Amino acid sequence: MQRHVQNPPHYQEFTTTELSSVSGKVQNCAGPTFVLSGDFLPSSFRSESYQLAKDAINYVCRHDNAAFPPSKTAVILRTLIDDTLKYRLDMLCHMVMLLDVKDREQLKVIDGIATSMFEDEIVNWGRIVTFCAFCGYLARYCEERNIPDCADDVARILGDIVVNRLGLWIRSFEKQFPAVCIWESTGLWKGIAIIALLIGAVLAFYSSVRHMNG
């Protein structure tokens, strides 16, 4: 079933000061520094990461019509993405509409948003799942506007980010998935903190682009 949200009701409740305050709380959960290349990681890990990224994006785009999940990890990730979309869909919708992607070339914004979101070098499962949900919703937005091959492009970009930027952390903490991820993603405060971090990353990137174009 497709989910459509118009005029997101909660986004305006966050002021810039509130976003900064909430985002600061996330920094209490420290993680290892992310890396810029995953070439040294096992090929099996890299292959599975791209497979999971592609499955996650296709699942959000097609949902009930999506292909059968390729692994148990994919099933878990789908469930966690569903939970994120269920409770934070209005905010994700607003962020995607703000970016207003019109062609495939503009999908490069995903890389810039990832840089802003993880520039504090703090990584946790809650952030990763929220970012996957955002990428999936962005791909669905583009498909609904008939932008060709956008789902494949978003999946590839997400896979690159997971492997090259987050791969070392994921390899170090993959045994904690999904238990820690569920703990990080549940609860009103934790959910708001992570989504506020993503909002801040989108707004920071959006502001920088407007400044360059201005």
Question: Can the peptide bond before residue 178 be classed as cis, meaning omega within 30 degrees of 0?
Answer: yes
CA distance 187 to 182: 10
Mean pLDDT of 52-60: 96
**In the chain, where the domains are located:** 37-213
Tens-digit pLDDT profile for residues 16-28: 333 333 333 333 3
User: What single DSSP character describes residue 34?
Assistant: P
CATH T-level assignment (fold) for domain 37-213: Apoptosis Regulator Bcl-x (1.10.437)
Determine the pLDDT at residue 49.
Answer: 93
Residue 5 has pLDDT above 80, yes or no: no
Mean pLDDT of 118-131: 86
Determine the pLDDT at residue 185.
Answer: 46
Report yes or no: 191 and 87 within 8 Å, Cβ to Cβ: yes
Tens-digit pLDDT profile for residues 139-163: 999 999 999 999 999 999 999 999 9
Kindly report whether the global pTM for this prediction surpasses the value 0.95.
no
Of residues 117 and 211, more confidence is placed in 117
